[in-house]
């Protein structure tokens, strides 16, 4: 049994990670400031003897004793990370410094939830880990993109300078139950709009592509990465390489929900990448990992989650 800290543990990915770690018999300390996370994501864990929650903002120091740290704290959707961009950069940068300082003091292994956004609007397709990216340093996405890039720099400098055991994981678009219904991300937006009978909002011409990874696939890869030998630092891409246009996603959601919603077109947000697809050759080689849940099946499970939330009350 290990003592494991999960920052951002009340969020979408963090709460699934807490579930998986507790199920494997580990003691989990979940730290979150509830900026985008929700109590309902972890309510079912509160009475579990291996689970403990602490309300805390990781831009402030944290003194606890743990064996491993998964650093997930950071708003992930553009609406949320652009709401208070200075705080977003602080969370990525000050938060990383604090969690690395903690890892250094207690000699813990530490994993960073980085992002495909470090590649920016890429001119290389699909993106291998060796690609350095094309990121605008002064745009509206920069607080997130550059914050995450700086966090990666800090991880590698603590590794070089202080011999910390680090793992840097670059996460591509992931979806599933417990996504925030109002976070503006495409999968949750389309499902909520379809279930309400509202118009489906396609930004731009809908021909931009994304690859969508179901949350269970992502979390199993995350735990596998933490368990790799100490000389493996990453960065390592994790995502589903099957690429879909946003238009195709909208049509699948309409079909699976049986909704009569109309498709409408809205302007493309600035710096919106045209194409994004992970090169997962390293994950296949290092972990023997490939995603196993097809988009249709993952969408069905996610739609079922949002339907249940609708049935429970008016909070959507
Ligand atoms: P989320 O917004 O649901 O979760 C983030 C959690 O961090 C929330 O619970 C939030 O309250 C918490 N948080 C934010 N700032 C904090 C702070 N200063 N101190 C303590 N807690 C704080 O998002 P998610 O989709 O679960 O993303 C989790 C991580 O994975 C993030 O670091 C994100 O950048 C990364 N990621 C996610 C995706 C994706 O598709 N979901 C893609 C790439 C990277
Ligand atoms: N820190 C923390 N918990 C710890 C140890 C350190 O939150 O258990 C924070 C502390 O705020 C410190 C930062 O991590 O400033 C970086 O720590 P490090 O030891 O790398 O550098 P320091 O700033 O202490 O020289
Ligand atoms: N998008 C869309 N309609 C929406 C929300 C998003 O067409 O209601 C588009 C968005 O412009 C982008 C893609 O879907 O091209 C994925 O957006 P998301 O915010 O989910 O993720 P990211 O841009 O970070 O990959």
pLDDT given for residue 269 in this prediction: 87
pLDDT given for residue 207 in this prediction: 95
CA dist., res. 264 & res. 251, Å (int):
12
> What's 127's DSSP letter?
B
pLDDT given for residue 314 in this prediction: 57
**One pLDDT digit (tens) per residue for the chain, 316 residues:** 999 999 999 999 999 999 999 999 999 999 999 999 999 999 999 999 999 999 999 999 999 999 999 999 999 999 999 999 999 999 999 999 999 999 999 999 999 999 999 999 888 989 999 999 999 999 999 999 999 999 999 999 999 999 999 999 999 999 999 999 888 999 999 999 999 999 999 999 999 999 999 999 999 999 999 999 999 999 999 999 999 999 999 999 999 999 999 999 999 988 788 888 899 999 999 999 999 999 999 999 999 999 998 887 655 4
Residue closest by Cα to atom 15 of ligand 1:
74
Which residues are annotated as catalytic? 144
pLDDT given for residue 315 in this prediction: 53
Q: Can the peptide bond before residue 235 be classed as cis, meaning omega within 30 degrees of 0?
A: yes
CB proximity list for 32: less than 8 A, separation 6 or greater = 7, 8, 9, 10, 11, 14, 53, 55, 56, 73
- With a 6 Å cutoff on the Cβ, whether 272 touches ligand 3 is yes
Residue closest by Cα to atom 6 of ligand 3:
186
Residue 65, Cβ density class (10 Å: 0-12 exposed, 13-18 middle, ≥19 buried): exposed
Determine the atom of ligand 2 nearest the C-alpha atom of 106: 8
Sign of CA dihedral 146, 148, 152, 154: positive
pLDDT given for residue 170 in this prediction: 98
Rg (CA), the chain: 19
Determine the atom of ligand 3 nearest the C-alpha atom of 78: 19
Closest Cα partner for 245 from 297, 277, 206? 206
Length of the chain: 316
Determine the atom of ligand 1 nearest the C-alpha atom of 9: 9
CA dist., res. 100 & res. 155, Å (int):
7
CA dist., res. 63 & res. 92, Å (int):
18
Distance 210 CA to ligand 1 centre (A): 19
For residue 225, the surrounding DSSP H or E stretch is helix 215-226
């Amino acid at each position: 049994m290990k003592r494991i800290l999960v920052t951002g543990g009340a969020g979408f990915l963090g709460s699934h990670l807490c579930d998986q770690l507790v199920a494997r018999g580990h003691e989990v300390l979940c730290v979150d400031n509830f900026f985008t996370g929700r109590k309902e994501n972890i309510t079912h864990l509160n009475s579990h003897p291996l689970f403990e929650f602490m309300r805390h903002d990781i831009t402030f120091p944290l003194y606890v004793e743990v064996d491993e740290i998964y650093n997930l704290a950071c708003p992930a959707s553009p609406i949320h990370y652009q709401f208070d961009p200075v705080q977003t950069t602080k969370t990525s940068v000050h938060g990383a410094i604090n969690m690395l300082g903690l890892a250094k003091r207690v000699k813990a292994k530490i994993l960073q939830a980085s992002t495909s956004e470090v590649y920016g609007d890429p001119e290389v397709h699909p993106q291998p880990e060796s690609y350095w990216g094309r990121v605008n340093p002064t745009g509206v996405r920069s607080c997130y993109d550059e914050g995450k890039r700086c966090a990666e720099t800090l991880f590698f400098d603590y590794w070089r300078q202080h011999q910390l055991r680090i793992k840097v994981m670059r996460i591509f678009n992931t979806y599933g139950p417990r996504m925030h219904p109002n976070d503006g991300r495409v999968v949750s937006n389309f499902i909520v709009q379809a279930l309400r009978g509202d118009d489906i909002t396609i930004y731009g011409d809908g021909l931009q592509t994304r690859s969508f990874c179901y949350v269970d696939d992502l979390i199993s890869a995350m735990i596998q990465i933490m368990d790799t030998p100490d000389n493996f630092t990453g960065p390592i891409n994790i995502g589903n390489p099957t690429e879909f246009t946003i238009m195709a996603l909208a049509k699948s959601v309409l079909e699976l929900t049986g909704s009569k919603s109309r498709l409408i077109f809205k302007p493309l947000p600035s710096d919106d990448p045209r194409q994004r697809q992970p090169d997962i050759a390293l994950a296949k080689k290092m972990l023997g990992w490939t995603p196993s849940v097809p988009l249709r099946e993952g969408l069905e499970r996610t739609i079922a989650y949002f339907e249940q939330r609708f049935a429970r009350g008016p909070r959507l």
